[in-house]
Amino acid sequence: MTTFLAILATGLGTYFSRGSFILVLANRRIPPNIMLALQYVAPAVLGALITTMLVGPTGDTEIGLAELTALATAGVVAWRFRNAIYTLLAGMAMFWLAGALQ
Amino acid sequence: MDDKNSDRALLATAVRDALPLFVPAIPFALVLGLAIVGSGINPWLAWTTSPIVYGGAAQLTLISLLGEGASVAAAVMAALVVNARHLMYSAALAPTFQQQPRWFQWFGPYLLIDQTFALGVLRGDDDPRTFRLYYITAGLTFWALWQLTTLLALFLGPLVPASWGLDFAVPILFLGLLVMMIDQWPKAAVALLAAAVTWLCADLPNRSGLLVGALCGVAAGITLEKLRE
C-alpha cells in the first residue's frame, strides 16, 4: 500500500511538472535564476543517485576492480558515442570480463 | 475525402517520426525490468509506474531506491527531481498549447516525454488541429511501446540468473545518462560533489544522504555560475 502511494505521488508530481507551464503558468517565463539552477538539478541528482546505488547504508562499498573498470568503460563510451545502448553493452561486457579474469 | 487522406498521411508521419526515437528507450525498459525484479517489490505493482508515472528515469529511480530501503519521501523526491527538465519542456511548449482546447491542455502533458518534446517543438508552428493530431499520435505511439516493452521486460527479468549480476546495469545506465548530459565542466563538478557528499552522508537514516548530496550539488552549481559571471 505504501509502495502504491509512493507510485501515485510520483505519478502526480511528474504529471504536474509536465503540465505546470502549459496548464497554469502559460504567460510566465522561468526566472533566469531558476533556469540556472534547473540545469544543475539532473547532474546533481544523478551523481547522488549513482553513489547511493554503489554505497551501502553505512558508507561501506562492495565496489571491486570489476565494478570500477565497468563504470570507467561505460563513462568513456557514453562520452565518446553519446548512445545509451552502446554504453550499457560496453559497461556490462567489461563487468563480466573483469569479473571472470579476477 | 481530401481531409481524410491528409489526416491519414499526418498520422502515418507521426508514427514514422516516433518509431526511431523510441529505440534509445529500449535499454531503459530492460534495465527497469531487472530493477523491478531486484527490488523485491511485487512486479505487477512496480509495473504500474509505467502508466502512472510514465517516465523511465523517474520509474527506475523510484523502484531502485525503494528496493535499497530508502524512505518513501526520499525515493519520491529523488524520482521527481531527476526529471526536473520537464519544467523546461512545459515552459517551452506552453505558447503552442495556448491555442489548444482545455481537454488537450490537460491530456497533452501526460504524454510529454523527451521524445514528444523533441517532435513537438519542431511542429510548434502547425495549425492547432494539425499539431494536436500529430502530438497525440506520436505521443500515444511512444506510450503504447513503453507499456509493452516494460511489460515484456518484467517477464525477461526473472529469466536472467542472479549470478550474472545484471543489477549492475542500473548504475551503468545512470552513469551513461549523466555523462551524456555533461556539456560543460561545471556540470561534471556538480555531479562529483553531489556524489562525494552523498557518500559522506551515507549513514543518514533512510538513505536521505541522497537528498543532501543533490542539494549541495545544485548549490555548488549556482555558486560556480555566479563566480563565472
Same domain, residue pair B47 and B114 = yes
The contacts of residue A32 (CB under 8 Å, 6+ apart) are none
Query: With an 8 Å Cβ cutoff, is B58 touching chain A?
Result: yes
Residue B48 domain flag: yes
State residue B54's pLDDT score.
96
Same domain, residue pair A74 and A39 = yes
Identify the top-confidence range among A13-17, B30-34, B88-92, B177-181.
Answer: A13-17
Same domain, residue pair A49 and A67 = yes
What's the first-to-final CA gap in chain A, in angstroms? 43
Return the higher-pLDDT residue of B204 and B148. B148
Domain extent at residue A63: 32-101
Residue B159 domain flag: yes
Query: With an 8 Å Cβ cutoff, is B44 touching chain A?
Result: no
Flag if B203 and A36 touch (Cβ within 8 Å).
Answer: no
Residue B110 domain flag: yes
DSSP, collapsed to helix, strand or coil, labels residue A55 as: strand
Flag if A52 and B222 touch (Cβ within 8 Å).
Answer: no
Kindly report, residue by residue over B136-182, the tens digit of the pLDDT. Answer: 999 999 999 999 999 999 988 788 777 777 778 888 988 998 998 89
Identify the top-confidence range among A28-42, B65-79, B131-145, B165-179.
Answer: B131-145
Domain extent at residue B213: 182-229
Flag if B58 and A2 touch (Cβ within 8 Å).
Answer: no
Q: What is the DSSP string of B40-74?
A: TS-HHHHHTHHHHT--HHHHHHHHHHHHTT--HHH
Query: With an 8 Å Cβ cutoff, is A102 touching chain B?
Result: no
Is residue B95 scored above 70 in pLDDT?
Answer: yes
List own/partner pairs for B142-147 with CB under 8 A and 24 or more apart: B142/B18, B142/B21, B142/B22, B142/B25, B142/B111, B142/B113, B142/B115, B142/B116, B143/B54, B143/B111, B145/B22, B145/B25, B146/B22, B146/B25, B146/B29, B146/B50, B146/B54, B146/B56, B147/B50, B147/B51
Is residue A24 scored above 90 in pLDDT?
Answer: no
Label residue B2 by pLDDT band (50, 70, 90): low
All three cell numbers of B199, joined, read: 557518500
Largest CA distance in chain B: 67
Which residues pair with residue A55 across a beta bridge? Answer: A61
Is residue B199 scored above 50 in pLDDT?
Answer: yes
* Averaged pLDDT, B202-228: 87
Give the residue from B144, B168, B192 where a domain finishes.
B168
In degrees rounded to 5, what are phi and psi of residue A55? -115, 135
Question: How far, in whole angstroms, is CA B157 from its chain's centroid?
Answer: 20
Residue B175 domain flag: no
Label residue A97 by pLDDT band (50, 70, 90): very high
Same domain, residue pair B107 and B163 = yes
All three cell numbers of B32, joined, read: 527497469
Same domain, residue pair B87 and B197 = no
State residue B179's pLDDT score.
93
The contacts of residue B101 (CB under 8 Å, 6+ apart) are none
Is residue B58 scored above 60 in pLDDT?
Answer: yes
Kindly report, residue by residue over B103-139, the tens digit of the pLDDT. Answer: 999 999 999 998 898 889 888 889 999 999 999 999 9
Same domain, residue pair B78 and B11 = yes
Question: How far, in whole angstroms, is CA A21 from its chain's centroid?
Answer: 25
State residue A26's pLDDT score.
66
Is residue B1 scored above 70 in pLDDT?
Answer: no
